[in-house]
Amino acid sequence: MGARPDDQGTSFRVWAPHASAVWVHGTFNDWAEPGLSLARDPADPTDGGWPGTWSADVPGVRSGSEYRYRLQTPAGALSRIDPYARQVTSSVGNAVVYDPAAFDWGDARFEMPGWNDIVIYEMHIGTFGARRDTPGTFDRAIRRMAYLEELGIGAIQVMPPFEYAGDVSWGYNPAHIFAIESSYGGPDAFKRFVRAAHQHGIAVIVDVVYNHLGPGDLDLWRFDGWAEGEWGGIYFYNDDRAVTPWGNTRPDYGRGEVRAFLRDSALTWLEEFQADGLRFDSTLYIRTVDESPETELPDGWSFMAWLNDEIRARQPWKLTIAEDLGDPALITVPTGKGGAGFGARWDTGFLAVVRAALTAGDDRERDVGSIAATLLAGGDRPFSRVIYTESHDDVANGHVRLAEAVAPGDAANWFARKRATLGSAITLLAPGIPMLFQGQELLEDRWFDDTLPLDWSKSDRFAGIVQLHRDLIAARRNTHGWSAGLLGSSTTILRADEELKLLAWHRWSAGGPGDDVVIVTNLSTLPIVDVALGLPRAGRWRVRINSDSTVYDEEFGASIADDVEADGGPLDEQAQSGRISVAPYAVVVLSQDA
């Protein structure tokens, strides 16, 4: 479908089952009307057509030519942008003929890291690479790629980059789901971004929106003039199933042509643009109408399972992530066992528990047991969940950054810095796929606003906090060879002490020196001093990270964490024990030399 150029010209094809005639016109014929006629195709999907598709080969039409379709319909003559357009001049402008094979990807090949070896960095292109008077673009974001590599990021998750109404948006109002937002630089700019990320060893995950479309600047609405009642026509449900919180534009997941349209969009990003994964926005509104079990959409569930099967069959190493705020029990279960087949899901329960503990005004209100439970909530498949304390949804629309939530109006004070970094440490050292939201490592305190660029001056002001994130991520990814257990799926809680507000856990893969990692956290204003704790084996356990070090902040520095000699006998169901000390609101990471 869409416009496909070759050496001879361009082949145009569009689905418009209720049109009685279809033409294409553009810069190649000076926009003469009605344009060049398209012929109705045979109803043969094996030939690239569907019932109701129209096509024509137009000699001499080259990449860069602008065009639109003109349809004669029951509603009269309509002018439409190609639903499959890879490039548009704007959300209400013209489609542009685009050659997907013309981009030079270079010779380097990128391999997606294992899902147990990525730290995700969620990014909004319009603000990440922006300056005060200069909106962000993909090319400007590329300039920070070396910074992200040094930080240790394994994957960038790009908030939806598809053409939307206007020039400023979060991206969750896609008008054209095959076209990259023109204000971000268009399709080649996105390919340059993906290529640069891969050159820096970083995967790219694209946030896609298939639970609704638009609703603004939506040429798909009554695309070929047909609709039932007040509904949207061939691409949408034409009854109450169309209703979403964002408009009456839920795609008709039960219609083969619409399923294929959404599938083709997903595969475009994974194959043509070489992205390494997809994050699906609000799958709850794909599988239900209004969040309730009474309004389940079997079409939506089967669509998700079918699409994940399609992706697994073609590129099984690529990661699909679901944001599902309902009961996610089956979201990551393989389709053969009745699940939707996603590789991972956003774990909002982790966010809720950890943020509640860190923002509580009184240490007595910090529920250590709940944090311990959420650490284990991934069960024997911990890397099937994405864990985080900040995301675009949770630091906007009345919600604030974690540091600001700890100390409103004074997000740089000692308590805010200590607890915000403790939140990052718990996230990065817990079993799961950890995610940071842009600027979290800079101690960004402003809520997310798509008109406000990140304050990169904080990378100097809080250089030590940035370094702490680098060190935590290096540990998480076993960069230095002493923390292989953080790549493993085994976790046990060593101690969840509500009185001391001490939480300690052990993570391992194969086990042994260089593999076993013990994390000890203090969720209290008071230091923990010389307390016996169970450890997996005898010998010296070295302090690899002490988040209270003055290396990270000159106002930190109780620095009471020393290497531990495990010679105290069995404790906490472990073979040995040693005495540990942890500063207020700090984390200590221990392991043995290999």
Distance between CA atoms of 584 and 415, rounded to whole angstroms? 10
Measured CA to CA in angstroms, residue 39 lies from 81, 311, 335, 422, 446 at distances of 18, 32, 39, 64, 55
Please report which residue ranges of 235-347 form alpha helices under DSSP H: 256-267, 284-287, 298-314
The CA-based angle 257-261-264, given to 5 degrees, is: 130
- Which pLDDT value is given to residue 48? 53
The CA-based angle 203-321-421, given to 5 degrees, is: 70
Distance between CA atoms of 227 and 183, rounded to whole angstroms? 32
Distance between CA atoms of 587 and 519, rounded to whole angstroms? 7
- The total number of residues written for the chain in this structure: 594
- Which pLDDT value is given to residue 144? 96
Which pair of tokens denotes residue 404? 């600001």
Which pair of tokens denotes residue 109? 């090949």
Q: What totals of helices (H) and strands (E) does the chain contain, helices first? A: 13, 26
Question: Which H/E stretch holds residue 459?
Answer: helix 458-461
Phi and psi at 368, nearest 5°, equal -65, -40
Per-residue b or e along 530-568, where b marks 16 or more CB atoms closer than 10 Å to that residue's CB: ebebbbbebbebebbbbbbbebbbeebebebbeebebeb
Beta strands in 41-183 (DSSP E): 53-59, 66-73, 76-80, 95-96, 120-123, 155-158, 162-164, 174-180
Between strands 344-346 and 319-322, the pairing is parallel
Which pair of tokens denotes residue 561? 């964490």
Contact, 467 vs 459, CB < 8 A?
no
Q: Scan for tokens 């003469």, then name that residue.
A: 32
Contact, 155 vs 172, CB < 8 A?
no
Average pLDDT score, the chain? 95
List 539's β-bridge partners, or say none.
Answer: 566
- Per-residue confidence of the chain (594 residues) as pLDDT tens digits? 889 999 899 999 999 999 999 999 999 999 999 999 999 998 665 555 568 999 999 999 999 999 999 999 989 999 999 999 999 999 999 999 999 999 999 988 899 999 999 999 999 999 998 887 788 999 999 999 999 999 999 999 999 999 999 989 999 999 999 999 999 999 999 999 999 999 999 999 999 999 999 999 999 999 999 999 999 999 999 999 999 999 999 999 999 999 999 999 999 999 999 999 999 999 999 999 998 888 999 999 999 999 999 999 999 999 999 999 886 779 999 999 999 999 999 999 999 999 999 999 999 999 999 999 999 999 999 999 999 999 999 999 888 999 999 999 999 999 999 999 999 999 999 999 999 999 999 999 989 999 999 999 999 999 999 999 999 999 999 999 999 999 999 999 999 999 999 999 999 999 999 999 999 999 999 999 999 999 999 999 999 999 999 999 999 986 677 899 999 999 999 999 999 999 999 999 999 998
Contact, 345 vs 302, CB < 8 A?
no
From 124, 121, 193, 188, select the one nearest 152 (Cα to Cα): 121
Q: What is the DSSP string of 546-574?
A: ETT-TTT-TT--------EEE-S--BTTB
Which pair of tokens denotes residue 429? 């050292």
Structural domains of the chain ordered from first start: 2-96 (2.60.40.10), 115-215+277-476 (3.20.20.80), 484-591 (2.60.40.1180)
Measured CA to CA in angstroms, residue 296 lies from 53, 241, 283, 288, 293 at distances of 31, 10, 12, 4, 5
Question: Which H/E stretch holds residue 418?
Answer: helix 414-429
From 490, 353, 473, select the one nearest 425 (Cα to Cα): 473
Contact, 222 vs 75, CB < 8 A?
yes
Single-letter amino acid code for the residue at 88 = V
Phi and psi at 195, nearest 5°, equal -60, -45
List 411's β-bridge partners, or say none.
Answer: none
Beta strands in 399-489 (DSSP E): 433-437
Distance between CA atoms of 377 and 354, rounded to whole angstroms? 13
From 104, 93, 5, select the one nearest 57 (Cα to Cα): 5
- Which pLDDT value is given to residue 76? 94
- Which pLDDT value is given to residue 329? 79
Q: Scan for tokens 């290396």, then name that residue.
A: 551
**pLDDT tens across 160-208, in order?**
999 999 989 999 999 999 999 999 999 999 999 999 999 999 999 999 9
Phi and psi at 111, nearest 5°, equal -115, 125
Distance between CA atoms of 552 and 521, rounded to whole angstroms? 17
Single-letter amino acid code for the residue at 229 = G
Q: Scan for tokens 């998480």, then name that residue.
A: 476
List 279's β-bridge partners, or say none.
Answer: 207, 321
Distance between CA atoms of 492 and 11, rounded to whole angstroms? 59
